[in-house]
Amino acid sequence: MSAILLSGKPIADAIKAEVADDVRAIKEKHGISPCLVVVRVGEDPASAVYVGSKVKTAEELGIISEHVHLDADASQEKVIEVVAGLNARDDVDGILVQLPMPKHIDERTVLELIDPEKDVDGFHPVNAGRLLQGHEALTPCTPAGVIEVLKRSGIAIAGKNAVVVGRSNIVGKPMAILLLQENATVTICHSRTADLADVCSRADILVAAIGRTGFIRREHIRPGAAVIDVGINNVTDPVAAADLFGPDDIEKRLATIEKRGFTLVGDVNPRDAMELAGYFTPVPGGIGLLTVAMLMKNTVTAARSRRRI
């Protein structure tokens, strides 16, 4: 048995095509284009790559995009001033503050300052509360992307046992709520869950979002389950890589480590998942591609909602 790989690219491409069509329709009918502003503080290399990808994708889809980059020593007051200014601009539909920020910035204070109607990351307590109560809300992009992958791949959710490993506000908790809204029976696991492998091994849908390289192994996976890997971790050790990848993948991964110094792997041991699962999202090339697509979708949703169009 070998799992069916659920590539994120065709699904992300389909969502982005739908967003582009919606952006054109808004512009033709109302003469405006949705606008997304990304705020980045400091010089974190990964953040620079992520922001560049978001800005580029927005432009490709016809969304107006701006990138506000502040120095690493920018004060919290300056960041707050920037966000407050974006809240006040009527032409701005979406505001995204790229995380992480420098340690002297209180991220919670900044994120809670964002106008909930422009909170395209879906992190604001107002949107989190609306999601919990089943109302329309801007939803965190990664969990929303997982639901899209399941639905568009024809994987049934209603009535299934779903286990989410991880309880973060960004992925774990909203993931559980979205699965519950799709009528799954949901269990949330975490570092203090007793008999974790036993709980996971009863899941029809297993979502791993814990930030631990290859932690989910064969003892956690029910044969035939849909295994969704949300993690993104760097593996630099060829010996460790040999424990994670099967014969069809290991040579390519070792070549990547030699060339770049690392290869990406999720929170699931890919070799074990490919041998046992019915479906599996690869890393890279899986859920990560959906996050940006869902951000674009949220930007258009925010534009329609706040402009009442």
Query: How do residues 63-82 score in pLDDT, each as one tens digit?
Result: 999 999 999 999 999 999 99
Query: CA–CA separation, 25 vs 22, rounded Å?
Result: 5
Task: Write the CATH number for 284.
Answer: 3.40.50.720
Please tell me whether residues 76 and 183 are part of one structural domain: no
The tens digit of pLDDT for each residue in 79-125 reads: 999 999 999 999 999 999 999 999 999 999 999 999 999 999 999 99
Confidence of residue 248 (pLDDT cuts 50, 70, 90): confident
Q: What is the pTM of this model?
A: 0.95
Query: CA–CA separation, 96 vs 273, rounded Å?
Result: 34
Please tell me whether residues 146 and 107 are part of one structural domain: no
Q: What is the largest CA-CA distance in the chain?
A: 58
Residue type, 176: A
CA angle 106, 81, 89 (to 5 degrees): 125
**Active-site amino acid positions:** 54, 98, 121
12 in any annotated domain: no
Q: Domains in the chain: how many in total?
A: 2
Query: CA–CA separation, 249 vs 185, rounded Å?
Result: 34
Query: CA–CA separation, 97 vs 136, rounded Å?
Result: 22
Please tell me whether residues 84 and 171 are part of one structural domain: no
Please tell me whether residues 96 and 150 are part of one structural domain: no
106 in any annotated domain: yes
Q: Are 293 and 241 in contact (CB under 8 A)?
A: no
155 in any annotated domain: yes
Beta-carbon contacts of residue 188 (< 8 Å; ≥ 6 apart) = 163, 164, 167, 172, 173, 176
CA angle 303, 298, 89 (to 5 degrees): 40
Please tell me whether residues 147 and 97 are part of one structural domain: no
302 in any annotated domain: no
CA dihedral of 102, 103, 104, 105, whole degrees rounded to 10: 60
For a pLDDT cut of 90, what percent of the chain falls above it?
A: 95
20 in any annotated domain: no
Confidence of residue 271 (pLDDT cuts 50, 70, 90): very high
24 in any annotated domain: no
Looking at residue 1, what is its pLDDT?
62
Residue 1, classified by CB atoms within 10 Å of its CB into exposed (0-12), middle (13-18) or buried (19+), is exposed
Question: In this predicted structure, which of 9-18, 30-39, 46-55, 210-219 has the lowest mean pLDDT?
Answer: 46-55
Domain that holds residue 73: 31-115
The tens digit of pLDDT for each residue in 173-186 reads: 999 999 999 999 99
Query: CA–CA separation, 276 vs 224, rounded Å?
Result: 6
Please tell me whether residues 179 and 230 are part of one structural domain: yes
1 in any annotated domain: no
Report whether the peptide linkage leading into residue 100 is cis, meaning its omega lies within 30 degrees of zero: yes
Residue type, 170: I
Please tell me whether residues 185 and 261 are part of one structural domain: yes
Please tell me whether residues 151 and 239 are part of one structural domain: yes
Task: Write the CATH number for 93.
Answer: 3.40.50.10860
Report whether the peptide linkage leading into residue 284 is cis, meaning its omega lies within 30 degrees of zero: yes
Please tell me whether residues 283 and 145 are part of one structural domain: yes
What mean pLDDT is reported for the chain? 96
136 in any annotated domain: no
